[in-house]
Chains A and B, each alone.
Chain A
Amino acid sequence: MSTRSFAIGLGSTPKRVLPGFGLSLGISLTFVSLMLLLPMTGLFGQLAGLSLAEYWTIITNDRVVASYVVTIGAAAVAAIVNAAFGLLLAWVLVRYEFPGKRLLDALMDLPFALPTAVAGITLATLYASNGWMGRLLEPLGLQVAYTWVGIALAMAFTSIPFVVRTVQPVLEDMPHEMDEAALTLGASDITGFRRVILPHLWPALVTGTGLAFVRSLGEFGAIIFIAGNMPYETEITALMIFVRLQEYDYAGASAIASVVLFASLALLLVINIWQGRFIKRLHGGHG
């Protein structure tokens, strides 16, 4: 994902002076309906075949519920780790000059560019107890592969660019007077960072972390190799969907998928609304 893709634009939109409304509307609507909405009817068709009670039973099956806990827990840990790690990386990339900076910058997009299945087998190879990393970590009592730590790790890997690439441009655009104002008022580095810089980055950081979290909820390919898939302990929700498919239980799969889908969309919506409010406060909008 790009440096700028998650920024919320503030440009105003004019009346229809410009040409191309019909054409662009036509293309967009055709595409959205055929490629996005029409297929989704398949999902809802399956759901329509379920009574509310059946739906409820499927999505509250205790093994499935356990998978929610594992998935959300690991995704939350991954998101929090990424928030810290992503902030550090964005900070270093924006604020400091050092040899290899461009390389580091380019490397940030690797998880998006690398197919998740490749990431999955590679992480599993690295962090298994006889892998390069596993060999170092195991003696320290930290088992990564086949534990929820591994799940969180795979999630963190696939979603780190969300945080870096949302925070980076905001940090770049932050005027240096903000730092200076804080310093002239006697703030220490830590206070200045906490009270001036962090609040400034907050919308971007929350957005990036939120997107990372959403992405982690749906990730399958990268996780499944390293998860261990123990019932109640290291089974993720995406696996529950996969299992239903193996059982030819399309309705069940659709039901669980719909939970993830709605949770993700709701979260995206909340992020958008919240960010809109925040930005309104920073940039005006009286009252």
Chain B
Amino acid sequence: METLLSLTPLVPLFPLLAFLAIVLVLNPNKRLSAAVAIGAVGLSWLLGWAIFFSSIGAGLGEQPFVVELPWMPTGRRLFVMSVMLDPLGAIMLFMVPFVALLIFIYSVGYHNLGQPNVEPRFSRFFAYISLFAAGMLALVVSGNMLLFFIAWEIMGLCSYLLIGFWFYKPSAANAAKKAFLTTRVGDVLLFVGLVLLYSFTGSLNLYEVLSPENIEFMKESSISVAGLFTLPALPTIALLIFGGAVGKSAQFPLHVWLPDAMEGPTPVSAMIHAATMVAAGVFLVARMLPLFEPIEGSWWLGVVALIGAFTAVFAASIAVAQNDIKRVLAYSTISQLGYMIAALGIGGFIAGVFHMLTHAFFKALLFLGSGSVIHGMEHGVHHVEEHGHGEGHGHVDPQDMWNMGNLRRHMPTTFWTYVVGAFALAGVPLVTAGFWSKDEILAEAFEKWTHKGVVSIPFVVWLLLTVGAALTAFYMGRQLGLVFGGRERTEAARHAHESPRSMTVPLMILALFAIGFGWVNIPKNVPLVGNGWLYTFLAETHINVLHEPYEKVPFVFSVAAFSSILALGGLALGWWLYRDVTGDATVSPFERDPVARAFARIPLVGRPLWLLLENKYYVDEIYGVLVVRPVLALSAFLNSFDDRWIIDPLVDGVGKAARGLSAVGRWIDTYIVDGIVNYIGYILDELARGLRLIQTGRLPNYLAILVAGVLALVGLMLR
């Protein structure tokens, strides 16, 4: 068993090798690169599950399995890199590779390998997603925050590459840049947090950093910011790290990039922007549990919870007014992430993690479903353009829900799997996984709220989350109605047809998990099926890290009932309102959309209110005004300032000085150096001419000189 665990560092390695293989060697051969990518992820999936199942009994909670690697000498201490596996990591190892594998298989069909219009950059796509898989898995198994941060960055890079996969589309390119920059803001905050953490604790290994002594030490100590003012250490570090999570999991201030990230191919959105990457933020907060420990003084937990709750409601409200099928799902993801963050904020650590896992499954299902819908719609659009018997008024957007309708007849499997996903998301009671996980969070909030009283944060969180739940159910119902209900509103919809088996099979498997996975953690006090296995499994990390048992929240029948009523009501309302609505994409929303009509009826403020929702509260525009324009102006100014006042004059000046110096050098060289050399030559020449006279050729002269020499010598001796 020990040896199996020791293989954890290998898990991220296979996709990485696949990435390298594809990039370096297999690029031209599309089929082979796909096979290699899928094989690699399959391997890590098998290894992941093997590790997960073997870790169940291993009691990793108290003593997480650690593989250390002395990596880099830093000053006196040696920086140790490590790989850690604890129950949280193990459960993630169960979910992440499995979802990745399904999405890999799905994307083979999505990019229609083997059909006429196969994606030209097919193998590159697989290389990117393999790299992403490697990054995510590395993040999961990393024990050292630096390795965590490296994996974090790799995922950021992959999201940029994959969003901008169709880089020839300007919108895709801009979306990729936007995604990268906004997440980058979050990353900077995270990085500062880590640096501070390192400075305080001297190491970045989780099992060392988060020890109680360090927490106590951080609690007392404070950070002086450039000598101006001091900040309490623990809160600043926690909030900075939470900032990274906000950036990556697209919470309220930094959520703008996720909807635009929909420009990328659907499998990408499914994997990155639904299941794995966005979950990383939540995973980070879960990992740094001691920082977010719900002890009495921790006010910053409230901040976390509020942000999470507010994002949930905020995103849900926008999702209601969206027309693009993928954007609805994007905003729903943001709101669900808000749920998780809120759960963690109010101390519901296991509830948050549970919701993250279940959400990964059904959100991946929904995205893949929407992908197959869009795929079908594209066939329909091509069909219409080639045979030319449609109305022919402009290009029909395959992603706009208003162009669809009655697709349940054309795509039955997609329809049914999509329904399962929608029900799980909405939280249809008892059956779906979504119900159990969302209910947990609501129960947590409710239970905390009942303790602390109405005016407390949990109450606000609970209230927002329940409103959010209602809105979620409504927009899912709306989506079902628009896409699958009623009659085909456009010719293209009439010609849409089912996706190939390679796409539908993963949908079915995910559907199974969307339902089945919930049962894993039915609370104990539910009769006959209650087991709470996940509680026991994850509670060990809680004990090990916080060193006090995690009080299990019992199943509250009233809360569950109330939330299920809301879910079913919302779904029914949405389906009923949008089932037989008419008017395709070209009609203005106020004619075609019943809710829009309802808003319009509200005097004066109604119409702008709907437009506000539809345009995402104009957040992008606000940022554009507040952030982008000033920065551009500043750079323009600096550029001109540099050119005219500092750089050019400086450079020119140096140039002139150099030329002047060289002129002086030349003068010295010609007159002094050459002069001296020539003069010496001249002297030697004259000397030689003089000396030549001695060589008369006559022997007597030489002898005379000889004797003269002797004479001189003798004279010398005499003196």
Partners in one complex: no
